[in-house]
Amino acid sequence: MSDIFPCTQAIVTIATVNIERVVNFYTKLFQQQPIKLIPNVYAEFQLPSLRLGIFQPKSNHTSEFEHSRKGTISLCLEVRDLEVAIAHLTNLGYTPPGNIITANHGREIYAYDPDGNRLILHQSNNFGF
């Protein structure tokens, strides 16, 4: 670790003005409650090797996070079984709009959260099943 920039942890955060809807989506997607929750302000999920935070910007900062319908983040989630993950998203009401893409590193499909942030569901060729 560098002495110049002693970073001890990193967290990815998503800003939203629809915090209840987005937190509810990720609660159902990950099938876990947030490890930290300040209602209508902040929620945080602990995932393998990642903490994901969701926050509602203060009203005087909302314009910083306004963008088109498509979000600006891509959250890549490694899954064991792509078809099971697709079925889970479909049951939540967020059916991936495209088809499964086969690449040399595995199979993947794009999906979107309630704010339009892209989720890349990826099943690696190296899972050993």
Domain ranges of the chain: 1-59, 69-129
> What is the CATH topology of the domain spanning 69-129?
2,3-Dihydroxybiphenyl 1,2-Dioxygenase; domain 1 (3.10.180)
pLDDT of residue 1: 52
User: Among the CATH numbers 3.30.720.120, 3.30.420.40, 3.30.413.10, 3.40.50.300, which is that of 1-59?
Assistant: 3.30.720.120
Residue 128 confidence (pLDDT): 47
CA gap 22, 9 in Å, rounded? 24
Residue 86 φ then ψ, to 5°: -65, -45
6, burial (CB in 10 Å: exposed 0-12, middle 13-18, buried 19+): exposed
- pLDDT, tens digit only, all 129 positions of the chain: 556 766 667 789 998 989 999 999 999 999 999 999 999 999 999 999 899 999 888 777 777 666 555 566 779 898 999 999 999 999 999 999 999 999 777 899 999 999 888 899 999 887 444
Q: Positive or negative CA dihedral for 111, 117, 19, 29? A: positive
Instruction: Provide the residue type at 24 as one letter.
Output: N
The residue whose two tokens read 């929620």 is: 43
What is the number of H-type helices and E-type strands within the chain? Answer: 2, 8
- What is the per-residue pLDDT for 56? 86
